[in-house]
Structure 1
């Protein structure tokens, strides 16, 4: 495994601080202090706090978008696609729970170009998810509940996984995947 670059270290440290305090409350001095370096040293690797935020959010949004595009373009049935979406969210959460806090809570602080790009990716992701669900209902692969309730309840659970899972000590990733798929797709009754 390769060593992290200094820029990656800065972004990871910032992800943790943004999760703990929120983007607006974190200063470059806070970040430098957390890393044990001088604030001026940060600027050797990054241009601004905004660059850090954009890197965190856009990288994660692109992971979700690329994953969703692969799922949408696959020949799998609705249930298999939904399982892969759940797996995608779990995998991204396990790799970067701290960054997901910024994705979910701080995206509105992105500057205009990145904000528009992020909002477009998010909208397309949700529309792809909605289309998968609609096709599944039309093919009688899933129950005919209200589409918006299915989309909301599933994505809300998956999007907040980053808050809950890091506190779990006795749930391995494979159990999480298995049980999340079972609960979200089959229910508990």
Structure 2
């Protein structure tokens, strides 16, 4: 097995354990035990728990950033863009629900440049979303509500979607997108 494949396996196993127990409660020994190997073998593929966390979180943060950048530069109304952001969150949730637990719950354990990079991506993402919402209010697509309240309401739901989605037995993604977009937007549309 090549190093990249083994590293991916280590990250996937760690992701599951981080979700179950939390980053601080998981040791490299726990990861190795879950994989059925010796802890020392992990270090042939990865430098430690911090690298695993960084790999998980930064991969997802970059995926969200790429998605938001595509939405921002796309044609369409602010309402179309908000719909696209919601659908992007659903797609990422469906494909990476375990890793989202680390992104949401353990990002503060990132260190040094990784933490700075993550926070910068998160702030830029939120600012882009805020601008879309403000534009929607300005052009009359959205009710004149405080942009921060709209942003918080949508993002808090989307950031915890992974918890709800796993408990509900994997709803059809297309139904989830259609209904979630409708429920979220009808509360702010004119």
Match of 1:28 in 2: 28
TM-score by length of 2: 0.95
Q: Distance in 2 between matches of 1:18 and 1:171?
A: 24
Q: Distance in 2 between matches of 1:170 and 1:92?
A: 14
Secondary structure of 1:76's aligned partner: coil
In the TM superposition, what is the alpha-carbon distance from 1:171 to its structure 2 partner?
2.0
Q: Distance in 2 between matches of 1:170 and 1:81?
A: 25
In the TM superposition, what is the alpha-carbon distance from 1:187 to its structure 2 partner?
3.2
Deviation digits for residues 42-68 of structure 1, max 9, x if unmatched?
Answer: 111111110000000000000000100
Give the length in aligned residue pairs: 185
In the TM superposition, what is the alpha-carbon distance from 1:141 to its structure 2 partner?
1.0
Q: Distance in 2 between matches of 1:169 and 1:96?
A: 15
Within the alignment, does 1:119 sit opposite 2:119 as a pair?
yes
Match of 1:104 in 2: 104
Q: Distance in 1 between matches of 2:6 and 2:93?
A: 22
Q: Distance in 2 between matches of 1:19 and 1:66?
A: 24
Match of 1:149 in 2: 149
Match of 2:85 in 1: 85
- 115-124 or 38-47: bigger deviation: 38-47
Deviation digits for residues 70-91 of structure 1, max 9, x if unmatched?
Answer: 1001111111101110011001
RMSD: 1.2
Q: Which runs of 4+ in 1 moved over 6 A?
A: none
In the TM superposition, what is the alpha-carbon distance from 1:170 to its structure 2 partner?
6.2
